[in-house]
Structures are given as structure tokens and as C-alpha cells.
Amino acid sequence: MAEAAGNSAYPILELQGIYKDFDGLEVLFGINLGIQKEERHAVIGPNGAGKSTIFNIITGKYLPSKGKIFFKGQEVTGTSPYRLNRQGLARSFQITNIFRTMTVFQNVRNAILSKNKIRYNLFSRLDRMKDISEQTEKVLEQIGLLDRKDVVAGLLSYGQQRALEIGLTIATEPELILLDEPTAGMSSEETREAVKLIGRVTQGKTLVIVEHDMEVVFSLADRITVIYYGEVLASGPPDEIRQNQKVKDAYLGEEKEE
């Protein structure tokens, strides 16, 4: 894609000609997508367009039936979600992924511990726990849940649970963050808060976000890719997408009618 544009335009993630079928049902038809380092990239498109499938292929959950994926310049097609996560790719799920019976603090600490298991060895366990607690509190502060840290996660409001989920995603300091509809099911008030939160915690990081709410998309994204029936309909900066006639006809127009 933007390979010829020099060193700075080096894509952290690249999809080349990705196809996917589920037992003969074809859902992706040659997706090409380049995500630059430190950009916030929104993936939009109607229900069933293939957005979550693209996410599942990026994160290694599904294998594409054709095509290649590159992460940080290395081909990672077929790499397991676990290993991709270790390499710095983190996702949150469309469905809530927190441990409801653990406290807010324990949820975040757990995420940090699971990441640090391989980094730390047996030395200085006390220091390590203090360090982990400090990191945990830092994340809680970022997501605005420090004052709720001892609350059992299942008792948080829906919006707070989604904030916690974003906290779990950023807790491991990933190089690439994937959020699949982080504002799904939120009230407009909660959505506004969530957008502020996402903007804050992804400052200077690379984000790919699937989102239906156009206000969220246009306020967050540096670039937008529109997926329509398993193909890239358009990809570019928000203004370009807003003006794009194909996008208006196929997608944004539909939204208005609803």
C-alpha cells in the first residue's frame, strides 16, 4: 500500500488480499488494508459486512482462506492469538470480556500479571508486586475507575464495564489496539464518555476500531476504511470518506434512512 512513501509511512499492520469463507460461504473478497504506526483507524460498514471477521483474522482467531498478514514487517499469517498478543497486539471483544466476580483492581492486575509472567523471573517478588500494583492503579486512573477499584466488576454500570474492558486491553501496553464496537449498547452519555476515554488512552498509540456510531468514528479516526459486502469500498481520511459518493450511496445514506 503506502510502502513507497518512505520510512515514516511503514505500516505496523498490513493485510494483503485477504479472503475468507465459512464452509463455502464467502464473506471476504480480497481485503487490502494498511495501518500506519500511531494512527487511529476506524473500520465501518453495515451489519454482516465482515468487520468482525477481519478482526478475527488479524488477531489470529481465524485463518484466512487466502492472503497474507504482516505485523511489524513480519508475516504472521497463521500465528496463534496467544503469540500475537505476546508480540504486542491486543483486542477487546464485541461482547464483554471481564471477570464479573473479581474486583475492578483484580481484573486489571490479572491482565498485567499475565503479560508480565514471561518478562519477570524469580527475583524480588515483593518489588514486583509493588510494581504491578502501581501499574494497575495507573491504568485504573486512566480509565476513570480508581475510586471503584474494590467494587466487584459485575456490579459496575454497563458503561463502566466497557471502560474496564478497555483498561484490560491497554493494561499490557500493546503496540496495536483493536476495539470491536466499544460503545455498543451504550447510552449517548456513556458513549460520549467512552470516546473521551478511548481518545485519551490511545494517544500516540495505534488503534483499529470497529464502530457503528458515526459521531464516534468521525471524532476519533485519522483514517477510515469502509467495508461493504466483504470488500473495501473506500479508505482514507474522514473528510474524504464523508464526501465519497460510493460511501454515501452504499452506507451513510442507509444510516440516515433508519
Query: Which residues form the interface with ligand ATP (CB under 6 A)?
Result: 22, 25, 27, 45, 47-53
| 45, interface contact from ligand ATP, Mg ion, none, CB < 5-8 Å by kind | ligand ATP
Cβ 254 to Mg ion, closest distance in Å?
16
DSSP string, 127-152: HHHHHHHHHHHHHHHHTT-GGGTTSB
Which cell numbers hold the place of 215? 459521531
Which cell numbers hold the place of 163? 471502560
Q: SS3 for 212?
A: coil
Cβ 188 to ligand ATP, closest distance in Å?
19
Query: Which x/- pattern, by CB under 5 A, does the window 41-70 give for Mg ion?
Result: ----------xx------------------
Q: At 27, which helix (H) or strand (E)?
A: strand 25-36
Q: CA-CA distance, 143 to 198, in Å (whole number)?
A: 9
Measured from the CB atom, the residue of 19 and 93 that comes closer to Mg ion is: 93
Contact between residue 170 and residue 89 where contact means Cβ atoms under 8 Å apart: no
Measured from the CB atom, the residue of 14 and 180 that comes closer to Mg ion is: 180
212 binds Mg ion (CB under 5 A): no
| Listed residue (138, 142, 130, 137) closest to 103, CA to CA | 137
Q: CA-CA distance, 205 to 31, in Å (whole number)?
A: 23
Q: SS3 for 103?
A: strand
Measured from the CB atom, the residue of 36 and 59 that comes closer to Mg ion is: 59
Q: Which position's Cβ is nearest Mg ion?
A: 52
Q: CA-CA distance, 218 to 220, in Å (whole number)?
A: 6
Q: At 21, which helix (H) or strand (E)?
A: strand 11-22
Which amino acid is present at 168?
A: L
Measured from the CB atom, the residue of 51 and 223 that comes closer to Mg ion is: 51
| 126, interface contact from Mg ion, ligand ATP, none, CB < 5-8 Å by kind | none
Cβ 179 to ligand ATP, closest distance in Å?
13
Measured from the CB atom, the residue of 102 and 252 that comes closer to ligand ATP is: 252
Cβ 182 to ligand ATP, closest distance in Å?
13
| 95, interface contact from ligand ATP, Mg ion, none, CB < 5-8 Å by kind | none
Cβ 208 to Mg ion, closest distance in Å?
13
Measured from the CB atom, the residue of 132 and 184 that comes closer to ligand ATP is: 184
Contacting positions for Mg ion (CB under 5 A): 51-52
